[in-house]
Each structure stands twice: as C-alpha cells, then as structure tokens.
Structure 1
Amino acid sequence: MRIAFVAPLVLLAGCATAPHQIRSACAIFEQRDGLFNNWRRAAERTEREYGVPVPILMATIYAESGFNPYARPPRTLLLGFIPWTRPSSAYGYSQALDGTWSRYRGETGHWGASRTNFADAIDFIGWYHAQSHVQNGIALNDGYSLYLAYYYGHDGYTQGAWRGRADIQRSAQRVSNMALTYQSQLRTCGG
C-alpha cells in the first residue's frame, strides 16, 4: 500500500525539477521523456508549428533558465543586504515576462498555459521567435539574432539596443553555439 502512494509522488517530483545534464540534448530528452511527460514530442511539435529548429528552442531555454521551471531573476538588495524586489517579472523555463506571456496566451488561445510547464514554455519560445521572424526579418535558423530579439524585445532589437553590449552579444553567441551543439547531438540520438 505504501509503495503505491510513494511511486506517483516520485514521478511528480521528477517533473518539477530541472534535468541534471543540460549540456546534452539527448540526455535532457532521456531524463524527461516518459509516459506523462514527453519533452522531445513537445519540442518537435513546436518546431512543426512555428518553423524554429528544436536546437534553437532548447538553447534559448538553456540560456534563459538552465531548464529550471521556477527560475526568476535574483532580488535586488535594499541597503545592500535586505532582499527587495525583482528587476522584472521573468519566470519559468522561458523567463517570459508577465505582459508578454499574457499576450501569447491571448493570441494563441492557450489560456491555461503555464510558464513552469515545459511544453507551454517551449511553445511560447517558438511563438516569440516566429514573431521575431515576421516583425524583424530574422531567419528562423539564426539563433544569435533570435536570442538578441528575445532578450531585448522586438523594438529593442530593431533599435539596436544590443549594440555596444558585449555581454549580451556573448550570451547570444553562447546560444548560437549551444544550438549547434544540440543539433549535432540530436543527430546521434535519433533527432
């Protein structure tokens, strides 16, 4: 009787944590693909719907949250030591802001979508990157530019807010490099 109760809790606990090996797309999918939770299928569905390659989708999550479903920006400190407010409302796998997440839910009709649900978060990223393609003319396979538009928003990207920001350009390059790494890995594990 006790085992029947503990087994579902163990399964649920595994869904609420970040995968351990996040530098390997194959390992991520192996760790998170199961009867009730298939990350690979969610990523491939998003690629089909929006045209953004799975490696770029996954690299965006890697950069934004490290696959932590409850990621948030660190709190600022009042008087240098009292935890205070957060610099933004970014949350979840995608680090989507409250307003952008609301817009996504309204435009897609995914009213029940949650930023802590991998399938919803990767769909959001695909949707946002597709918006960057339409609004900013960024190729759907250009992980570097897609990340800059993701980080700064469509208007910020158009205005070149990222120019002169070497740290953000390095982050975008890391996303691009990680997407290439994921792409190579996925070829070896049936992706």
Structure 2
Amino acid sequence: MRAQLYQFFHVLALVLLTSFPVALGWRSFKIVFMRFDYEANPKLVDVKIQLQNNSESSLNVFINTLEIMDDIELSASFALETQPGNFTNLISTTLNFCRMLKERDGEPLARIIYQDLMRHGKWFKECPIQKDTYTLQDYAVDEELLPSYLPETNFKLKLRLTQPKSVQIFKGTLFGRVDKSKGFKNLKMFSMG
C-alpha cells in the first residue's frame, strides 16, 4: 500500500511539474494586427504585406530581394499607447542584423522573436542575403513570448533596415492592439461543466 501511495505521489508530482509552465503561460489576451504602414527601396526589394483578421490575427509578408545585401542594420522600437494618440516607448534597439544571424548568443530577445518568425515560412538565414523570394505566412504572435501583464491598449512596432551610408532598405510601422476580450480561447477545455 505504501509503495502504491509513493508511486501515486510521484506521478502526481510529475504531472504538476510538467503542467506548471503551461499554467503560468496562460495569456488572457490576444494580439490583433490593425495596419502596417511601410515603404521599401524599389531598387533593393519588392515587399508586399497583408494583414488577416479572421478568427486569428495574422500577417503575410512577401519579399523579393533584387540585389545581394550585406552589413544590414536593424532598428526597432516598441511603444504602448498610454493616452489616446500618445505612445510611450518601452523598447528601442539597434543591432547588426547580419551579426544577429551568425551569432547564437547575441541579443536574446531578438533571437527568440526571429526564431519564432522562421517557423512560418522561408526567411533570411544568413548574410549576405541573396537575390531570392522570402515569405512569412500566417504569422500570429506567440503570446507566450510576451509578458503576461501587458495592459489592454494599442501598440506600434517600428522597424527600419538600412545598409552603410544610411541607404534605407525598408521602413515600416505595425499598429496593433492587445485585446483582453480574445484571451483564454481554450478555457472551456478546463471547465468542470
């Protein structure tokens, strides 16, 4: 009897330990893409971006590179709307995009986000970036990558890719919303009734 009781507690402990990260990872929000304003250098790239807001908000990106590109700098900033029309910058960074692709230990947040992007299509893997077509299909933000305490508000993400001598490749601003009414889509699975 005692051996069975110990075995039961070991199984229970294992189940609790393996499900604990999932329970902590519940997000009571969804990320909704509203619009993406952008401009691309027509001598270097042809870019088409589509937003879809059906059952889930997703992003499709099609990039046709017209030249071989190297030594690319990425500038990014993320801001939340604190008052109507007033955004407060939370994160702002500039990094060497090509170095980020080569180095596995640099810029951990950028690396995590980039790895998430790579799961959704044919994306840049190394520099120099070759003439080719690159795609991102049905990309929806993995809310597990975001802090659970995000407020329900609008946000904007600014991106800028440049080459030496400030030659702009791409500049864009993605507008979206942290929507708490769309969270816990699988909550019924856990209900008792």
- TM-score tier (shorter): under 0.3
Q: Which has the higher contact order (CA 8 A, sep 6+)?
A: 2
Name the one with the larger helix percent: 1
TM-score by length of 2: 0.25
TM-score by length of 1: 0.25
Larger radius of gyration: 2
Name the one with the larger strand percent: 2
